[in-house]
Structure 1
Amino acid sequence: MTPPAASKSVLGYFGWAFAVTLGGLALGALLGWNATGTFGGLATAFFICAVLAVLEISLSFDNAIVNANKLKEMTPVWQHRFLTWGIIIAVFGMRIVFPLAIVAIAAHINPWEALKLAAAEPEQYARIMQDAHLAIAAFGGTFLMMVGLTYFFNHEKDVHWISFLEKRMAHFATIKGVEIAFVLILVLIFSSLLDGNESTTFLHASIYGLLTFLLVEVLAGFLDASQKTMSTAAKGGFGAFLYLEILDASFSFDGVIGAFALTQNLFIIAIGLGIGAMYVRSMTIMLVEKGTLAHYRYLEHGAFYAILILSVIMYMQTLMHIPEVITGLGGAALIGVSLWSSIRYNKRNGVAHDERSHRAKA
């Protein structure tokens, strides 16, 4: 795939990601300037692209680990195909086509019309998006809330960051469907705060968001079961490639939906999530070649708390306007604090990653 791991530094794996980051942030800033003609608009677009990239990287941390574990079973040819064709599908499929489909469905227009409006008539596009915002917020908020709660309502989860809260959630996870009941109660509360058609729209969109999450869970379980029965050849070839692509779509869904909590600009969403996808690709290559997994204990917790915050904000946005900067800072701050807590834990407990020892055992 690439030069031997022993002759390549950690930063060496992220060369393309850094290049895409510089180009993407510059393009995002240019879009902000063209849209508003002000430095404030330029800075806002730049900031949102950066936050989306950070959020995508954090939310896709598990994705990189799963990809690395599966890639070890694949032949070198299919490894290369996944890391080239796969990233194209991930960036252009899930980060561009999929958000466009959400906009088209929510606004009741075809995807081509949605794309033309986004590119040529941003004011009209913004108006349609404003009309569709209630449904998007309800759908996305419900999906994200299920993603976050499912992580914490897990009786097998034994690593806790905020112990007093997470231990209780893990304890109540033995009650079947507790997270679904919690979300449905919130859906009923928020729908009761809206009037007439808005209440009905919120309720229907929330139910679709819940059903989508459950279907993704069913699909993931089916793929896991099917993977166990695959032949060795299938695991190392197209079967594994297809498996990883569908898993990537499942992992990416929460990031794509969460992006609508930050901005409704399709191109900024694509840029920010595309930057993040490049880092996930680089991280996957590094994990495979160096035989090591990142070991920040609480980083995953911070990402899922960020998901929960986004879900609550999306619900609140159906009742009031919440500035995008506040939304972005909340998630980024949580991820940063969780990373800092992980580093402190490693220092206190003398946790260090010894690559030579790992390779000696392999």
Structure 2
Amino acid sequence: MAATWHYFKWSFIVTVVGLGLTLWLGWAYTGTLAGTMGFFLIGAILAVLEISLSFDNAIVNANKLKDMTPVWQRRFLTWGILIAVFGMRIVFPLLIVVVAASIGPWEAIRLAATQPDEYARIIGDAHLSIAAFGGAFLMMVALNFFMAEGKDVHWIAALERQVAKFASIRGIEVAIVLAVVLIFASILPDQYLATFLYSSIAGLVTFLAVEVVGHVLDASQQATDVAVKGGLGAFLYLEVLDASFSFDGVIGAFALTQNLFLIAIGLGIGAMYVRSMTIMLVEKQTLAQFRYLEHGAFWSILILSVIMFCQTITHIPEIITGLLGAAFIGVSLWSSIRFNRAAAAVL
């Protein structure tokens, strides 16, 4: 118990400070006890929503971090989390408004503070682009895992084993994502088609670009210093991955509140728990202890990517996204425990 507290100490501190700020923000905006408690409740819900949507993110981060040097691990868990919290939870929503409304950053902040309805409307208008980009990127992430050559551990064996057979086919993951894009493009109204196709292809190209840049950077670094293998390239990959995971949380938050500052507080609290979980998974080597936990995370990512594509056509409540992800991870954890018990019984 004491060891667990060590990992989540700063998350608990940020939670107390953050929820305190929601009370102050609620009183500043409403001046009533009911309004203040409403802000507090929404902030708490946003934090829980972010944790439930991002637990698979922590598992994937831990999987990548375990192969990085301690120096780059520390850089990601310090600078990387700052980018994730402030970049994706605050700067990214502002940037959407800056581009969509053709206004300056300070004007966007003023709009968020004084005209939250208009701010939320602009964010909502960008939802199609964000969902298409994130769906394509995350689907590539998931397929890249299931179709990795040499993958010999399978959780949903009947399906995963069949999928793994196609790993040797060059470009199969790209072909599958493009096929999914074409299916949704055939359903969307014509006025949304160009935006959807452009954003989907951008998500696909971004994944491929990050993969290429990562390999080039890491190969270059390895040539000069073996100790920094898995450094800058892996760092960039994780940053883009974190950004993609944040899309649904940021957009989904506007279903609960249109206040940018309340969203930043709630999602920031959740992001700190993701950081704590990532550190714990790496240091305690939890992924090695639970055989199928990583599989559950990537199934969760695949489901999330499909949901993001579906959201280009219809609204899907964020609670469904969170529960599905949590369910896959929970069942994979249970399967891992059963496997460990069976292996121990044999010994």
Out of 202, 215, 227, the residue aligned to residue 209 of structure 2 is: 215
1:226–1:195 distance in 2 versus 1, CA, 3 Å:
same
Q: Cα offset for 1:350?
A: 2.2
The one-character-per-residue Cα deviations of 1:15-66 (angstroms, maximum 9, x if unpaired) are 1123224444665698799799598886565334213224334313243354
Aligned to 2:323, which of 324, 329, 345? 329
Query: Cα–Cα, structure 1 residues 188 and 298, in superposed 2: closer, same or farther, change >3 Å?
Result: same
Match runs of 1:302-341 below 5 Å = 302-341=296-335
Aligned partners of 2:123 and 2:251 also within 8 Å: no
Q: Which moved more, 1:44-53 or 1:192-201?
A: 44-53
Identify the residue that residue 124 of structure 2 maps to in structure 1.
130
* Cα deviation code 1:292-340 (max 9, x no counterpart): 4542222221221222222212222222222222222222222222222
Q: CA deviation at 1:140?
A: 1.5
1:120 and 2:114 equivalent? yes
Cα distance in 1 for residues equivalent to 2:38 and 2:211? 41
Q: How does 1:218-297 map to 2 (within 5 A)?
A: 218-231=212-225, 235=228, 245-260=235-250, 262-264=252-254, 267=261, 270-271=264-265, 274-279=268-273, 281-282=275-276, 292=285, 294=287, 295-297=289-291
Separation in 2, partners of 1:141, 1:107: 24
Query: What's the counterpart of residue 140 of structure 1?
Result: 134
Percent sequence identity over aligned pairs: 53
Gaps of 5+ in 2: none
CA contact (8 A) 2:292 2:332 kept: yes
Unaligned runs of 5+ in 1: 1-7, 352-362
CA distance in 2, matches of 1:172, 1:282: 36
- Offset at 1:163? 0.8
Q: Please name the residue that 2:176 is paired with.
A: 182
- How much has 1:223 moved relative to structure 2? 2.5
C-alpha contact (below 8 Å) 1:262/1:327 kept by paired residues: no
179, 190, 199: which one aligns with 1:196: 190
Task: Work out the CA distance in 2 between the residues paired with 1:336 and 1:24.
Answer: 28
For the residue of structure 1 that corresponds to 2:290, the secondary structure is coil
Counterpart of 1:4 in structure 2 is none
- Tell me the distance in 1 between the aligned counterparts of 2:262 and 2:55: 16
Post-superposition offset of 1:162: 0.8
Work out the CA distance in 2 between the residues paired with 1:114 and 1:263.
18
Q: Residue 79 and residue 320 in structure 1: after superposition, are their counterparts in 2 closer, same or farther (change >3 A)?
A: closer
Residue 235 of structure 1, CA deviation: 4.1
Q: Is the 8 A contact 1:48 1:272 kept in 2?
A: yes
How many Å apart are 1:119 and its aligned residue?
Answer: 3.1
Taking the aligned partners of 1:300 and 1:209, their CA distance within structure 2 comes to 23
Whole-Å separation in 2 of the counterparts to 1:272 and 1:299: 27
Residue 131 of structure 2 contacts residue 308 of structure 2 at CA under 8 Å; is this kept in 1?
Answer: yes
Change (3 A) 1:65 1:10: farther
Residues matched between the structures, number = 335
Q: 1:83 to 1:300 in 2, by over 3 A?
A: closer
Bigger drift between 119-128 and 255-264 goes to 255-264
> Are the aligned partners of 2:89 and 2:250 in contact in 1 as well (CA < 8 Å)?
no
What is the CA-CA distance between 1:184 and the residue it aligns to? 1.0
State how far apart, in whole Å, the 1-side matches of 2:23 and 2:321 are: 19
Aligned counterpart in structure 2 of residue 168 of structure 1, from 158, 162, 165: 162
Per mean C-alpha deviation after superposition, the further-off stretch among 20-29 and 115-124 is 20-29
Aligned AA for 1:49? A
Question: For residue 51 of structure 1, what is the amino acid of its counterpart?
Answer: L
TM-score (norm. length: structure 2): 0.79
Q: Which residue of 2 aligns with 1:15?
A: 9
1:60 maps to 58
Task: Say whether the 8 Å CA contact 2:49–2:270 is kept in structure 1.
Answer: no
TM-score, L = length of structure 1:
0.76
CA RMSD across the alignment: 3.7
1:277 to partner: Cα distance: 4.5
1:98-142 deviation per Cα after TM superposition (whole angstroms, max 9, x unaligned): 454355445655444443333332110121122221122111211
Moved more, 126-135 or 48-57: 48-57
The alignment partner of 1:257 has SS state of helix
Helix, strand or coil at the partner of 1:349: helix
Query: Structure 1 residues 308 and 160, CA, compared in 2 at 3 Å: closer, same or farther?
Result: same
Distance 2:24 2:153 in 1: 43
Cα 1:22–1:293 change in 2 (3 A) is same
The offset of 1:148, in angstroms, is 1.5
- Pair 198,219 (structure 1): closer, same or farther in 2 beyond 3 Å: same
In 2 relative to 1, CA 150–99 (structure 1 residues): closer, same or farther, beyond 3 Å?
Answer: farther
